[in-house]
């Protein structure tokens, strides 16, 4: 036993012994007093007592019993001064016979859920402590914390205090549970060890990878949380793993609200404002009156940062039906690039909040994509509407960085000059070819507005297969085909008129954005390789240029071509390894994990590598001031009400304790109290019997 362990045990046993001793002292003080009677010759009574007690078998038995009880009490008290573990053979244990158990404690996000006064992780810690206390003393344990990855909390050992100390340091993460990895780690740790066994303590949160439990080493589940009753019932029946749908296992009257997704759509023409779309989930069985708290900040990373008053932007009240539902919040100030959204039950009249089973999933985060300057080269005849649309966006610059003209006639255009290799010099991000049949620069995305076809088509070379004829649609009715595509976001052709459009021939993998009814493609986006957008439009043959859709179309096209099709950066999932694209290579980056001190980032080329189980906004900052921020989105598997089928078969296993060790499994203090209570009851009974004589 280590000194610290001894100290801990002393404290525990003193805490246990104090009330017991106090009760005994109180009973002693309150015990009925004997009547005092004066006698002339006590020696005569002494003779009587000696003869009587020595001869009466019952009294002899009572004396022996009292002695045994007193001896047992004294022995237990003395034994409690040492480490009170019950073992049949604490010394000379055969190492080959020592059971080895790997305890895997689920620390995934759902373990932070609380159905009562304690979280599931706290329940798990108690369950492990009971299991450890009940095991035979020589048994050795390895403690693993499993979430997205597996950590060793306490190495192989039989020291209970050290193991419990490690247990108490456990904290739930915001990551999912990678049970496969945990099981592999446990199996490796048990390789070659005697009596191997794995104990998984979990709320049944769905593993990311379903797998079959191998025959060896045996796996035993210890369930915590609301799934436990169903699991235990299933175990008694010898049935397979329990299953329940989301929400069914939430106790009646409790709710859990969660933010599933946060999206932002900047307003066309005013990107400093936009519409926030929040998808929230109500895991309860009925509608819940809720609040949405929307916070924005330029620097916040954690929930605590967003909870500051100055970060609060908007407060919305809404009624949430069971299940998932989306809610649009228009007109949101997007001046701050980092957005935090919290959903919570609406406070009742006295200011208190309704019970929410899990707090970890109440927050969702979003980061607006950086709106960098985009340089555009326009080639072809000048068009007022096209140029006006380009200038409508405050981040689009027409013209090269090296002073080249932004609008070039076809004769002055040299595609090789604006290749992507030299982008650092000329800075051209996008080339727009308007009514010219010229190639795009290598590696440079472009928007091509198709020429009207020549009057006659001839084969390019003699004997070659003639080109297919160019098709046109006269006075067509255009319709948006891919409304969800970033290029067509906010676009409508309802008020535009077209005299003539060219029907395009999309290649495999292209996305048809718009058609001339009934089905002729007139707008195509090519995502494979260098991005390219084709419009079968001649802006002189339509009034689209004067419509609201024109600048939106142009802005969407330019943003999509440079890879900024989404206004939000892609969220990352806590616990999963990620590689975040850095804007430039060769810089030294510092990683700012939410709630942690900055540390040097792992960089591979232009990839920022890492993994974290923290929920919030992760930030990488370069030494030249550049910054990359990524929000996290909780894994969908970590819903507090989703404790459903796990995929692996249920294997009822014999308990860790062998039948002969049942008694030893009783906690020492319980046994002590039991004996003390029995002694008191017996003494009290004997006293009552004497009083009735």
Partner 1 sequence: MAEAGPRAIRDDLFDAAFLGRVEQLALLARRMASSGQRAQRRTRKSGSGLEFADHREYTPGDDPRGIDWNLYARSERLNLKQYEEEEDLSVWFLLDRSSSMTMAPEGVPTLFDRALQVTAALSYISLSNLDRVAVVPFGETIAPPMRPLRGRNQFFRILRALSALEPGGKTAIRGALEAFERHQPRRGLVLLLSDFYDPTGLGDGLRHLSIRGYEPMVLQLCDRSLLDPQLWGDLAMVDVETGEVREMTLTPALMAKYRKAFEAFSAEVERAAREVGARYLQVDVSTPFDEVVMKVFRAGGFLG
Q: In this complex, which beta carbon is closest to partner 1, that of residue 32 or of residue 518?
A: 32
Joined together, the tokens standing for residue 60 give 């002899």
Minimal distance, residue 96 CB to partner 1, in Å: 58
Which value, in Å, is the radius of gyration of the alpha carbons in the chain? 38
Q: In this complex, which beta carbon is closest to partner 1, that of residue 48 or of residue 287?
A: 48
Contact 514, 525 (CB under 8 A): no
- Determine which residue in the list 39, 92, 95, 191 makes contact with partner 1, applying CB under 8 A: 39
Minimal distance, residue 46 CB to partner 1, in Å: 6
Joined together, the tokens standing for residue 584 give 């430039």
Minimal distance, residue 683 CB to partner 1, in Å: 12
Centre a 10 Å sphere on the Cβ of residue 464 and count the other Cβ atoms it contains.
9
Site for partner 1 in 294-313 (CB under 8 A): none
* Binding of partner 1 by 42 (CB under 8 A): yes
- Determine which residue in the list 10, 19, 47, 168 makes contact with partner 1, applying CB under 8 A: 47
How would you classify the pairing of strands 374-379 and 430-434?
parallel
Minimal distance, residue 65 CB to partner 1, in Å: 16
Contact 132, 160 (CB under 8 A): yes
Centre a 10 Å sphere on the Cβ of residue 305 and count the other Cβ atoms it contains.
18
- Determine which residue in the list 34, 96, 236, 465 makes contact with partner 1, applying CB under 8 A: 34
Q: In this complex, which beta carbon is closest to partner 1, that of residue 30 or of residue 693?
A: 693
* Binding of partner 1 by 691 (CB under 8 A): yes
Interface with partner 1 (CB under 8 A), residue total 23
- Determine which residue in the list 28, 29, 32, 659 makes contact with partner 1, applying CB under 8 A: 32
Helix 3-30 with 160-168: angle, nearest 10 deg? 90
Minimal distance, residue 51 CB to partner 1, in Å: 7
- Determine which residue in the list 3, 41, 623, 624 makes contact with partner 1, applying CB under 8 A: 41
Is the bond leading into 518 cis (omega within 30 degrees of zero)? Answer: yes
- Determine which residue in the list 92, 95, 191, 693 makes contact with partner 1, applying CB under 8 A: 693
Distance of CA 91 to the CA centre of its chain: 46
Nearest-angstrom CA–CA distance, 355 and 256? 8
Is the bond leading into 217 cis (omega within 30 degrees of zero)? Answer: yes
- Determine which residue in the list 3, 43, 466, 468 makes contact with partner 1, applying CB under 8 A: 43
Site for partner 1 in 226-285 (CB under 8 A): none
Q: In this complex, which beta carbon is closest to partner 1, that of residue 53 or of residue 627?
A: 53
Which residues 6+ apart lie within 8 Å of 427 measured at CB? 375, 400, 401, 402
Question: What three-state secondary structure class fits 347?
Answer: coil
- Determine which residue in the list 45, 61, 67, 684 makes contact with partner 1, applying CB under 8 A: 45
φ, ψ of residue 385 in degrees (nearest 5): -70, -35
* Binding of partner 1 by 469 (CB under 8 A): no
Question: Of the listed pieces 38-46, 296-304, 573-581, 646-654, which binds partner 1 according to CB under 8 A?
Answer: 38-46
Q: In this complex, which beta carbon is closest to partner 1, that of residue 48 or of residue 71?
A: 48
* Binding of partner 1 by 40 (CB under 8 A): yes
* Binding of partner 1 by 28 (CB under 8 A): no
Question: Of the listed pieces 31-39, 216-224, 357-365, 411-419, which binds partner 1 according to CB under 8 A?
Answer: 31-39
How would you classify the pairing of strands 446-449 and 430-434?
parallel
Centre a 10 Å sphere on the Cβ of residue 218 and count the other Cβ atoms it contains.
15
Q: In this complex, which beta carbon is closest to partner 1, that of residue 7 or of residue 684?
A: 684
Contact 275, 329 (CB under 8 A): yes
Question: Of the listed pieces 42-50, 68-76, 113-121, 437-445, which binds partner 1 according to CB under 8 A?
Answer: 42-50
Q: In this complex, which beta carbon is closest to partner 1, that of residue 10 or of residue 687?
A: 687
- Determine which residue in the list 4, 46, 216, 416 makes contact with partner 1, applying CB under 8 A: 46
Minimal distance, residue 54 CB to partner 1, in Å: 12
Query: DSSP assignment, residue 612?
Result: -
Question: Of the listed pieces 19-27, 47-55, 202-210, 647-655, which binds partner 1 according to CB under 8 A?
Answer: 47-55
- Determine which residue in the list 38, 317, 484, 624 makes contact with partner 1, applying CB under 8 A: 38
Q: In this complex, which beta carbon is closest to partner 1, that of residue 36 or of residue 465?
A: 36
Question: Of the listed pieces 12-20, 29-37, 266-274, 348-356, which binds partner 1 according to CB under 8 A?
Answer: 29-37
Q: In this complex, which beta carbon is closest to partner 1, that of residue 38 or of residue 94?
A: 38
Minimal distance, residue 226 CB to partner 1, in Å: 56
Q: For 533-598, what is the HEC assignment?
A: EEECCCHHHECHHHCCHHHHHHHHHHHHHCCCCCCECCCECCCCCEEEECCCCCCCEEEECCCCCC
Nearest-angstrom CA–CA distance, 205 and 202? 7
Nearest-angstrom CA–CA distance, 274 and 336? 12
Question: What three-state secondary structure class fits 149?
Answer: coil
Contact 572, 632 (CB under 8 A): yes
Neighbour-count burial for 410-443, b at 16+ CB within 10 Å, e otherwise: eeebebeebbeebbeebbbbbbbbbbbeeebbee
Contact 419, 444 (CB under 8 A): yes
φ, ψ of residue 636 in degrees (nearest 5): -65, -15
Minimal distance, residue 42 CB to partner 1, in Å: 3
Joined together, the tokens standing for residue 182 give 């945990």
Minimal distance, residue 663 CB to partner 1, in Å: 35
Nearest-angstrom CA–CA distance, 493 and 458? 34
Joined together, the tokens standing for residue 498 give 């077209």
Q: In this complex, which beta carbon is closest to partner 1, that of residue 32 or of residue 529?
A: 32
Query: What does the per-residue mask of binding to partner 1 show for 629-668, with x meaning CB under 8 A?
Result: ----------------------------------------
Minimal distance, residue 684 CB to partner 1, in Å: 13
- Determine which residue in the list 3, 29, 30, 37 makes contact with partner 1, applying CB under 8 A: 37
Query: Of 575, 459, 553, 480, which Cα lies nearest the Cα of 522?
Result: 480
Nearest-angstrom CA–CA distance, 217 and 194? 10
Q: In this complex, which beta carbon is closest to partner 1, that of residue 47 or of residue 658?
A: 47
Minimal distance, residue 682 CB to partner 1, in Å: 16
Contact 242, 220 (CB under 8 A): no
Query: What does the per-residue mask of binding to partner 1 show for 48-87, with x meaning CB under 8 A?
Result: xx-xx-----------------------------------
Minimal distance, residue 35 CB to partner 1, in Å: 5
Q: Note the residues at the interface with partner 1 (CB under 8 A).
A: 32, 34-49, 51-52, 687, 690-691, 693
């Amino acid at each position: 036993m280590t000194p610290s362990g001894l100290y801990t045990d002393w404290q525990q046993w003193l805490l246990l012994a104090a009330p017991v001793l106090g009760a005994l002292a109180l009973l002693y003080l309150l015990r009925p007093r004997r009547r005092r009677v004066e006698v002339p010759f006590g020696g005569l009574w002494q003779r009587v007592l000696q003869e009587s007690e020595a001869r009466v078998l019952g009294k002899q038995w009572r004396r022996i019993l009292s002695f045994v009880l007193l001896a047992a009490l004294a022995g237990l008290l003395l034994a409690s001064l040492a480490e009170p573990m019950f073992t049949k053979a604490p010394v000379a244990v055969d190492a080959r016979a020592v059971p080895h158990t790997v305890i895997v404690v689920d620390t995934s996000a759902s373990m932070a859920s609380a159905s009562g006064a304690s979280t599931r992780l706290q329940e798990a810690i108690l369950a492990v402590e009971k299991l450890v206390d009940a095991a035979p003393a020589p048994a050795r344990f390895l403690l693993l914390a499993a979430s997205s990855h597996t950590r060793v909390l306490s190495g192989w050992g039989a020291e209970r205090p050290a193991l419990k100390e490690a247990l108490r340091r456990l904290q739930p993460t915001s990551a999912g549970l990678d049970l496969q990895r945990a099981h592999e780690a446990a199996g490796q740790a048990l390789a070659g060890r005697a009596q191997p066994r794995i104990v998984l303590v979990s709320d049944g949160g769905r593993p990311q990878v379903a797998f079959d439990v191998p025959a060896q080493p045996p796996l035993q589940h210890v369930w915590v949380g609301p799934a436990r009753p169903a699991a235990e019932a299933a175990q008694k029946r010898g049935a397979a793993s329990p299953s329940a749908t989301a929400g069914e296992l939430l106790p009646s009257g409790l709710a859990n609200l969660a933010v599933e997704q946060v999206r932002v759509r900047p307003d066309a023409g005013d990107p400093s404002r936009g519409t926030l779309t929040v998808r929230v989930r109500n895991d309860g069985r009925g509608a819940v009156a809720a609040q949405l708290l929307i916070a924005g900040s330029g620097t916040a990373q954690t929930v605590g940062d967003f909870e500051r008053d100055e970060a609060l932007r908007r407060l919305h009240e809404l009624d949430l039906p069971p299940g998932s539902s989306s809610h649009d919040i228009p007109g949101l100030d997007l001046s701050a690039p980092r957005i935090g959204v919290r959903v919570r039950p609406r406070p009742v009249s006295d200011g208190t909040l309704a019970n929410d089973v899990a707090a970890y999933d109440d927050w969702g985060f979003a980061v607006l994509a950086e709106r960098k300057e985009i340089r555009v080269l326009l080639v072809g005849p000048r068009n007022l509407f096209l140029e006006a649309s380009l200038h409508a966006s405050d981040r689009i610059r027409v013209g090269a960085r090296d002073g080249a003209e932004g609008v070039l006639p076809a004769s002055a255009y040299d595609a090789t000059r604006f290749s992507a290799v030299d982008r650092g010099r000329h800075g051209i991000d996008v080339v727009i070819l308007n009514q010219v049949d010229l190639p795009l620069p290598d590696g440079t995305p472009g928007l091509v507005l198709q020429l009207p076809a020549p009057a006659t088509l001839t084969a390019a070379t003699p004997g070659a297969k003639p080109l297919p004829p160019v098709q046109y649609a006269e006075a067509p009715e255009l319709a948006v085909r891919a409304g969800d595509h970033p290029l067509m976001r906010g676009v409508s052709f309802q008020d535009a008129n077209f005299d003539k459009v060219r029907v395009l021939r999309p290649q495999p993998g292209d996305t048809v954005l718009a058609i001339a009814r009934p089905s002729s493609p007139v707008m195509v986006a090519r995502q494979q390789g260098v991005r390219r957008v084709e419009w079968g439009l001649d802006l002189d043959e339509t009034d689209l240029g004067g419509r609201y859709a024109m600048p939106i179309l142009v802005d969407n096209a330019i943003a999509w071509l440079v890879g900024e099709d989404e206004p939000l950066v892609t969220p990352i999932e806590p616990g999963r390894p990620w590689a975040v694209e850095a804007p430039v290579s060769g810089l030294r980056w510092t990683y700012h994990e939410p709630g942690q001190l900055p540390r040097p980032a792992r960089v591979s080329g232009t990839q920022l590598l890492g993994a974290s189980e923290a929920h919030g906004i992760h930030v990488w900052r370069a030494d030249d001031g550049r910054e990359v921020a990524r929000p996290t989105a909780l894994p969908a598997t970590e819903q507090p009400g989703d404790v459903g089928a796990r995929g692996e078969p249920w294997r009822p296993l014999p308990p860790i304790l062998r039948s002969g060790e049942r008694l030893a499994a009783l906690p020492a203090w319980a046994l002590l109290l039991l004996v003390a209570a029995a002694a008191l009851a017996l003494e009290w009974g004997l006293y009552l019997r004497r009083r009735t004589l």
